[in-house]
């Protein structure tokens, strides 16, 4: 039954067809962190220093200074290696190191390369550009390709790895000389230290930009890294490989899935088995990208049995771990009804109130986005949200008191409920004050919020037709709290969609006097 009050209609409009649930399930808009070399300026350096300070390496199966060398050379190189580890180098030593690098004498060559590597391993101010300007990059690559002594190959690869941690232009100097293929080949080296050095180089290059990342992917860089992880004998190897492989799997635009699909179950396994927060963070960031896809991809995540672990990780103290963890779960609940139901059965909603009230905006937004995908699902899934008093209370609070982007996400979560919930769910929302919240939001200027609220109001009124038949309680309530007057005013809004939604409500539910 229509209200007896009359309101003026401006113009004419067509009622839009209601979107399907699959369209309502909103995939993440461009809300992504940049691909990281572990925070481009700081964490790469920390990684490099950590590498220099590793003292827990497992003895390599094959000696880096081969036993086939003459005994006197073996002994000289070993003694020199010990001395060089304790020696500091400054840029004043650079000319002498260059001279030794071009020497035909293996002992001099070893001294020059090791000294250069140590110069490039300082925390800040490494002479990367000077190394490039001295044309040492092709020389280092030549040493890796031709040298027969693994220790020299390791030192040259190590030096190039640190060059690759510089600017994009500096990294390009390695790529131009075939460095990507070179390092991918080194990943399969029988010498563990050389293979792990290649892991660092691949991670640095992939972390620079998505163009370099994609080159590594096309040259087949993923599977050798997976092989190293699967055969790793210590935690440091897993940590370094996880970081490197993670850099190959994230970033915008996201990589083509055919290149990285084999990494998805590996990251799930790492998340289940590892406890190091740094390893877990890298794995979760990567999986947050890999799980952003079709339902078959989401099913792989579910089948790995990683979801219960992810839900436990939502209680972790590290914000940098919780954000990608929640994003993975938010991706999975964009799936079909069974996939979303499975995640809910593992206790996801019990973690949401704490996240909705978190002082970090990124977490509140992720939590709202996750809920909006759940409320875009079945009646039962909507009911679980709507009838969870702490969640509903938090959402209403965010819609009225938070910053605009959080208001928008929280409004989506509730608006989806008005479309996909049961009639009793809508009644509960209205009883809890939904219409007053909508009245507040309609006073704002955000076009997206206005459109979402008007669509949700239309949904509520349609449910009132079903519930109350000849006496739609929602019509009376909306009219009494002044919402209809605001809707009439919004017909003059410059946005066509806002105008059209206002027109639809007034035309269908209130007697109207057209000005046309």
Instruction: Give tens-digit pLDDT for 42-84.
Output: 433 333 433 554 434 445 567 899 888 999 999 999 999 999 9
Q: Is the pLDDT of residue 513 over 70?
A: no
- Cβ(301)–Cβ(333) under 8 Å? no
Q: Which of 40-49, 98-107, 258-267, 457-466 has the lowest mean pLDDT?
A: 40-49
The pTM of this model reads 0.85
For 72, other C-beta atoms within 10 Å of its C-beta total: 8
Q: Is the pLDDT of residue 24 over 70?
A: no
SS3 at position 511:
strand
Quickly list DSSP for 215-250: HHHHTT-HHHHHHHHHT--SHHHHHHHHHHHHHHH-
Q: What pLDDT is attached to residue 9?
A: 55
Instruction: Give tens-digit pLDDT for 110-130.
Output: 999 999 999 998 878 899 999
Q: What pLDDT is attached to residue 510?
A: 77
Q: What pLDDT is attached to residue 509?
A: 84
Tokens encoding 391: 């969640």
The pLDDT-based confidence of 458 (bands split at 50, 70, 90) is: very high
Q: Is the pLDDT of residue 33 over 50?
A: no
Q: Is the pLDDT of residue 233 over 90?
A: no
The pLDDT-based confidence of 435 (bands split at 50, 70, 90) is: very high
> Which whole-number Å values give the CA distances from 145 to 25, 178, 361, 507, in the listed order?
52, 11, 50, 77
Q: Is the pLDDT of residue 37 over 50?
A: no
Q: Which residues contact 275 (CB under 8 A, 6 or more apart)?
A: none
Instruction: Give tens-digit pLDDT for 137-194.
Output: 999 999 999 888 999 999 999 999 999 988 999 999 999 999 999 999 999 999 999 9
């Amino acid at each position: 039954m229509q209200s007896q009050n009359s309101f003026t209609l401006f113009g004419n409009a067509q009622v839009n067809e209601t979107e399907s649930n699959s369209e309502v399930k909103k995939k993440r808009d461009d809300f992504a962190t940049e691909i990281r070399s572990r925070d481009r300026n700081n964490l790469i350096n920390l990684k490099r220093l950590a590498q220099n300070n590793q003292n827990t390496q497992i003895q390599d199966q094959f000696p880096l200074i081969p036993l086939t060398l003459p005994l006197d050379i073996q002994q000289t190189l070993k003694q020199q290696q010990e001395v060089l580890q304790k020696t500091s180098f400054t840029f004043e030593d650079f000319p002498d190191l260059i001279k030794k690098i071009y020497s035909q004498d293996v002992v001099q060559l070893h001294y020059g390369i090791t000294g250069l590597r140590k110069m490039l391993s300082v925390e800040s101010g490494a002479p990367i550009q000077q190394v490039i300007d001295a044309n040492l990059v092709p020389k280092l690559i030549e040493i890796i390709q031709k040298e027969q002594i693994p220790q020299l190959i390791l030192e040259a690869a190590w030096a190039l790895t640190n060059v690759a941690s510089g600017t994009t232009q500096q990294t390009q100097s390695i790529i131009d000389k075939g460095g990507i293929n070179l390092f991918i080949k080194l990943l399969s080296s029988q010498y563990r230290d050389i293979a792990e050095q290649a892991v660092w180089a691949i991670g640095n290059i992939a972390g620079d930009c998505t163009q370099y990342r994609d080159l590594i992917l096309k040259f087949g860089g993923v599977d050798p890294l997976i092989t190293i992880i699967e055969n790793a004998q210590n935690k440091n190897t897993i940590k370094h490989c996880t970081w490197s492989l993670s850099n190959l799997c994230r970033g915008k635009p996201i990589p083509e899935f055919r290149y990285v699909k084999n990494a998805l179950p590996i990251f799930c396994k790492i998340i289940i088995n590892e406890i190091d927060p740094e390893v877990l963070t890298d794995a979760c960031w990567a999986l947050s990208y890999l799980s952003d896809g079709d339902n078959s991809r989401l099913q792989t995540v579910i089948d790995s049995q990683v979801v219960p672990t992810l839900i436990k990780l939502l209680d972790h103290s590290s914000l940098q771990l919780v954000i990608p963890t929640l994003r993975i779960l938010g991706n999975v609940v964009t799936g079909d009804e069974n996939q979303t139901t499975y995640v809910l059965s593992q206790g996801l909603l019990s973690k949401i109130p704490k996240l909705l009230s978190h002082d970090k905006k990124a977490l509140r937004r992720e939590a709202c986005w996750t809920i909006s995908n759940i409320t875009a699902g079945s009646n039962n899934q909507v009911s679980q949200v709507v009838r969870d008093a702490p969640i509903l209370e938090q959402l209403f609070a965010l819609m009225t008191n938070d910053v605009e982007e959080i208001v928008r996400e929280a409004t989506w979560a509730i608006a989806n409920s008005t479309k996909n919930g049961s009639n009793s769910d809508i009644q509960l929302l209205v009883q809890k004050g939904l219409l007053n919240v909508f009245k507040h939001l309609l006073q704002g200027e955000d076009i997206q919020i206005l459109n979402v609220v008007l669509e949700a109001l239309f949904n509520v009124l349609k449910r009132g037709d079903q519930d109350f038949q000849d006496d739609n309680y929602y019509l009376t309530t909306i009219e009494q709290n002044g919402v209809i007057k605001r809707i009439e005013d919004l017909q003059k809004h410059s946005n066509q969609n806002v105008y059209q939604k206002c027109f639809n409500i007034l035309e269908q539910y209130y007697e109207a006097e057209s000005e046309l």
